[in-house]
Amino acid sequence: MSLFSLFQNKSSDLSPNEFREKMNSDLNYTLLDVRTSDEFTEGSIEGAKNLDFFSARFKEEVLKLSKDKNCYVYCKSGMRSGKAVKFLNENGYTAFNLKGGISAWK
């Protein structure tokens, strides 16, 4: 892993306050919940689109998102969303991970 990619991953992890502030100041974004549909129905952040990280079609579906919008991504604890953000950033998106996930958001 290069030093740049290490820095890139760290800089895309945002605390709940940073995540909220950045998203609130962004006029055109996608909010993505990468938990399972069962987890999503238990409660989500308003306006979130659900794409299950464990789905066989996840990569195919997530690459359909607009690259013109920043992606704010979360899961339960920040692990799945961290991997999703890394994948998105490697594919030309600007994506941010909610550090600690929705558990930290509440």
**Catalytic residues, which ones?**
75
* Closest among 60, 57, 34 to 45, alpha carbons compared: 34
Q: What spatial distance separates the first Cα and last Cα of the chain, rounded to whole Å? A: 33
Number of H helices, E strands in the chain: 6, 5
* The token pair that represents 34 in the structure block: 């990468």
* Residue 1 near residue 85, CB atoms below 8 Å: no
